[in-house]
Every structure is written in C-alpha cells, then in structure tokens.
C-alpha cells in the first residue's frame, strides 16, 4: 500500500504523514529531507545550490544515513533545497531511492511535492494537504521559535511564498495537486483534527471506511 501526500511549504504534510504511517503500520519517507540533505552537502562542499553540477555531485554522493540530521530543518536549508530541487538531473538522481522506498513492505507513506504526480503515480491513495500561506507561516514560525531559531513571522511568510512560487513554476515536477488526489485544507484544523480527517479520507478512498481505527 502506498499513500502519497503532497502539498506546499509548511502545510503540515510531514507531521500528518508520520502519524498516518504509524496508524497503518507503514514506513514513512519525508522526501523534503532528501532535497535538504543535497542542499546541505552542496553548501558543505563550497558549492552553489543554483549550480546544477555542484548539486548533482551532492545528489549522487548522498548518504541515506545522513537524512536524520536534525539541522536539516533550518530556514536556510529550506531555501537552498528548493534551489537544488530545480535541477532535473538532481530530481532524476533522487527518484530511484524514492521508488525503492515505495516498494518496501508492507507499504509506505511518502510526502513531498511530486509524489502523486511523478514518484508514485500509481499510489493507492493521494492526498493534497494545504492551508493559507498566513496560517502556514504562523505554524512554521512557532516551530522555529521552539527550536530557538531567530526569525520573524514576516520573514517566514516571505520565504514560504518565494518557495511556493519556485516549486510551482519549475519545468520539471512542479508542485501541483494531482488530478486524482483528495484535497485536505487544514487552515482551520489543529493537528489532531487534521489527522482524523486524513484517516477518514484515506479509509474512504480505500473503500473500507470505518474498518481501520
């Protein structure tokens, strides 16, 4: 079973995907971490994330064991990740890892920007998670504050809008709602309510509403 969860920056898809995976006993892959790790390694090697060659070298050498790095969640790496994610060669290099992960038994919940469209077009269920930019900025700002990262809510909103624009307008694998995805707008939903809504949408999509619980 494969559940694809896509959505814009800070839409809460990561937290949701983790909880959905635990609920169904599936593996979870946050694909944003792959792009963030490539950005981290590009910068560590003295490269420019906008340079395809530098980003591709980091993508080819990526060590999956380094994906748990807590420092991947900084605003700087979010920005740099959306720059390395622009390069088609980088995306192609990361595709094999993602597809192999999707084949793991008993199944996987994979979240990102292009999971339902490119990585797993045959996923059993596709969710597109969104919220207004202001609400997403508010949530991400709180996370940064909790982690002791010094930013203003205005800066977070500007970063989110810039990344969304870049992610939606790139030539390869742009962020968009897959035609066969179910939309989940979490603007007015706290995480528990969003989780319950996701589970009922997934159960309904699987044609077995009410069985899982």
Chain residues binding ligand CDP by CB under 6 A are 9-10, 14, 31-32, 35-36, 78, 81-82, 85, 112-114, 163, 167
Q: Which is nearer to ligand CDP, 32 or 47 (CB)?
A: 32
Burial of 210 (0-12, 13-18, 19+ CB in 10 A): exposed
CB nearer to ligand CDP: give 9 or 26. Answer: 9
**Which of 89, 203 has the CB closer to ligand CDP?**
89
CA distances from 101 to 55, 104, 109, 187 (A): 22, 5, 10, 30
Between 41 and 114, name the residue whose CB sits nearer to ligand CDP: 114
The sign of the CA dihedral 23, 35, 178, 9 is: positive
Nearest alpha carbon to residue 2 among 109, 100, 95: 109
Q: How far is the CB of 153 from ligand CDP (least distance, A)?
A: 15
Query: Least distance (Å) from ligand CDP to the CB of residue 210?
Result: 31
Minimum CB distance to ligand CDP, residue 106 (Å): 22
- 3-state helix, strand, coil split of the chain in percent (to 5) is 55, 10, 35
- Compute the least distance from the CB of residue 72 to ligand CDP, in Å: 8
Yes or no: say if 118 and 44 are a contact pair by the CB < 8 Å rule. Answer: no
Question: 165 or 208: whose CB is closer to ligand CDP?
Answer: 165
Q: Least Å distance between CB 179 and ligand CDP?
A: 18
């Amino acid at each position: 079973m494969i559940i694809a969860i896509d959505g814009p920056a800070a839409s809460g898809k990561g937290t949701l995907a983790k909880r959905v995976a635990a609920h169904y006993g599936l593996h979870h892959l946050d694909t944003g971490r792959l792009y963030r790790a490539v950005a981290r390694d590009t910068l560590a090697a003295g490269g420019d994330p906008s340079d395809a060659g530098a980003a591709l070298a980091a993508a080819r050498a990526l060590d999956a064991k380094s994906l748990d790095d807590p420092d991947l969640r900084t605003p700087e790496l979010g920005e740099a990740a959306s720059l390395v994610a622009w390069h088609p060669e980088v995306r192609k290099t990361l595709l094999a890892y993602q597809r192999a992960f999707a084949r793991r038994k008993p199944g996987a919940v994979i979240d990102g920007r292009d999971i339902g469209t490119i990585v797993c077009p045959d996923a059993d269920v596709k969710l597109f998670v969104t919220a207004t930019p202001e609400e997403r900025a508010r949530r991400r700002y709180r996370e940064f504050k909790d982690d002791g990262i010094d930013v203003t809510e205005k800066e977070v909103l500007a970063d989110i809008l810039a990344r969304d624009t870049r992610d939606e307008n790139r030539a390869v694998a742009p962020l968009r709602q897959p035609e066969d995805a179910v939309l989940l707008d979490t603007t007015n939903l706290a995480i528990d309510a969003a989780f319950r809504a996701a589970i009922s949408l997934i159960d309904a999509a699987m044609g077995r509403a009410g069985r899982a619980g």
